[in-house]
Amino acid sequence: MKRIVLLSLTVALPALAETPAQLLNGYVTEAAKAQPGFAPSAERGRQFYVERRSTSDKMPSCSTCHTDEPVAAGKHVITNKRIEPIAPIAGSKRFTEPAKTEKWFHRNCKEVVGRDCTAGEKADLLRFLLTKSGA
């Protein structure tokens, strides 16, 4: 079981991605396997980001911690710790380390959505965040 989980994680990882755009391409390629012709949508990404779910009372949406304005610094709803803007703005390291990105997608999606996010959802979200940061 453990091996299967690890294996699917490896496959989902766009291995050599280094820029947010490359990471996005990796998710699009992955999503297109399940849904041929998949094209990422910033609008779907925005909806996904602000959607309030009932999995957790404390953290109903991604924007609960990352704020409604993804180019602004966020704040952890429980620890109150500052979170660097989730959108990859100039000079930030956002979405440049695939392992880090996957780790947090896994954790935050489980907490907020109640399951892992799909490659399509990740692609939409990244498309949205890139639009916000001017790319």
Sites for ligand HEC among residues 72-111 (CB under 6 A)? 76-77, 83-84, 86, 94-95, 100-101, 104-105, 108-109
Q: 120 near 69, Cβ under 8 Å?
A: no
Neighbours of 3 (CB within 10 A): 7
Distance between CA atoms of residues 80 and 101, nearest Å = 21
Distance between CA atoms of residues 112 and 37, nearest Å = 28
Please list, in sequence order, all residues whose beta carbon lies within 8 angstroms of the beta carbon of residue 63, skipping any fewer than 6 positions away.
49, 50, 70
**38 versus 124: smaller Cβ distance to ligand HEC:** 124
66 lines the binding site for ligand HEC (CB under 6 A): yes
**38 versus 98: smaller Cβ distance to ligand HEC:** 98
- The residue from 17, 38, 64, 119 that contacts ligand HEC (CB under 6 A) is 64
Sites for ligand HEC among residues 42-61 (CB under 6 A)? 59
Which phi and psi (to 5°) does residue 54 adopt? -105, 10
**3 versus 12: smaller Cβ distance to ligand HEC:** 12
**36 versus 79: smaller Cβ distance to ligand HEC:** 79
What tokens appear for 2 in the block?
Answer: 């453990």
Binding site for ligand HEC (CB under 6 A): 59, 62, 64-66, 76-77, 83-84, 86, 94-95, 100-101, 104-105, 108-109, 112-113, 125
